[in-house]
């Protein structure tokens, strides 16, 4: 019998050198050992390796940084730019062949969620700043001790009954917003006229609108309603919500 691999009766392939059985057994997969004379060496080419997901991790890091910055109103714009960069880099990493996909997917999702959360925080802080702090009501008229002796026939002068013009309302609102430390809309020439018209068309009383036109905070029963209308005006007139 010629030399070769044969079943030695035990169910395993064993090398027959042409005269006797040797101590060499074939691997379980059926590959031929390389140390047997005349036998071909088994293939040792390594399996293709995976590519490191560099783009995925970079995009994920940018998404985390952008989310943090977007939740800070003072640097909201910077945060949005970083979130956009994180989304793009994560998208590139998603199409890298052989690289793990989960960092890219998480980076893209976080970029979107971070943008939404940052926008909500920015609008809430802006609305709170527009509402302004509650100022105590300080009476300005001191009753005169001689008023009872000489009653006046002229009616008392109260808030004007005329509704202020939308332009005056917008200018007064600008004074209140800047007093709250917000200058976001100074570069938007159409914002305050639009907001003034919005408040003019609302159901707010003439007295409240007159206070706003004079750059004063509104106190009293209508304060909460004023805050809601200003918030709605901001969302309606802001070209970049």
Asked if 14 and 22 touch (Cβ cutoff 8 Å), the reply is: yes
Question: What was the pLDDT predicted at 161?
Answer: 63
What is each CA distance from 234 to 105, 190, 191, 192, 222, in whole angstroms? Answer: 34, 12, 8, 9, 18
Question: What was the pLDDT predicted at 43?
Answer: 44
Question: What was the pLDDT predicted at 241?
Answer: 57
| Lowest mean pLDDT across 18-22, 50-54, 231-235 | 50-54
Question: What was the pLDDT predicted at 33?
Answer: 45
Asked if 88 and 60 touch (Cβ cutoff 8 Å), the reply is: no
CA atoms of 230 and 225, how far apart (whole Å): 9
Q: Decide: helix, strand or coil at residue 4.
A: strand
CA atoms of 38 and 18, how far apart (whole Å): 12
Domain ranges of the chain: 54-130, 166-237
| Lowest mean pLDDT across 65-79, 88-102, 131-145 | 131-145
**Mean pLDDT along residues 195-221:** 88
**Mean pLDDT along residues 161-169:** 87
Mean pLDDT of the chain: 78
pTM assigned to the model: 0.36
**Mean pLDDT along residues 20-24:** 85
pLDDT tens readout for residues 116-161: 998 999 899 888 888 755 555 455 554 444 444 444 444 443 444 6
Bridge partners, 76 (sequence order) = none
Whether the predicted pLDDT of 42 surpasses 50: no
Question: What was the pLDDT predicted at 28?
Answer: 64
Given pLDDT bands bounded at 50, 70 and 90, which one contains residue 12?
A: confident
**Mean pLDDT along residues 160-185:** 85
Estimate the crossing angle of helix 54-70 against helix 102-131, to 10 degrees: 10
Whether the predicted pLDDT of 65 surpasses 90: yes
Question: What was the pLDDT predicted at 145?
Answer: 44
């Amino acid at each position: 019998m010629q030399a070769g691999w044969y079943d030695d009766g035990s169910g395993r392939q064993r090398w027959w050198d042409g005269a006797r059985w040797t101590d060499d057994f074939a691997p379980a997969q059926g590959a031929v050992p390389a140390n047997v004379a005349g036998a071909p060496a088994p293939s040792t080419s390594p399996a293709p390796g995976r590519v490191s997901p560099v783009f995925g991790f970079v995009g994920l890091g940018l998404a985390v940084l952008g989310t943090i910055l977007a939740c800070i109103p003072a640097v909201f714009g910077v945060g949005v730019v970083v979130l956009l960069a994180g989304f793009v880099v994560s998208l590139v990493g998603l199409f890298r062949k052989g690289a793990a996909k989960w960092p890219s997917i998480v980076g893209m999702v976080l970029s979107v969620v971070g943008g939404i959360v940052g926008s909500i925080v920015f609008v809430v802080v802006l609305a709170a700043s527009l509402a302004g702090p509650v100022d105590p009501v300080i009476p300005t008229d001191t009753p005169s001790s001689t008023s009872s002796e000489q009653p006046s026939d002229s009616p008392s002068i109260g808030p004007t009954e005329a509704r202020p013009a939308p332009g005056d309302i917008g200018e007064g609102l600008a004074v209140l917003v800047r007093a709250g430390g917000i200058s976001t809309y100074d570069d938007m020439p159409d914002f305050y006229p639009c907001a003034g018209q919005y408040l003019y068309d609302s159901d707010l009383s003439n007295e409240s609108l007159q206070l706003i036109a004079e750059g004063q905070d509104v106190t009293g029963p209508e304060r909460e309603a004023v805050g809601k209308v200003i918030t709605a005006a901001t969302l309606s007139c802001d070209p970049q919500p």
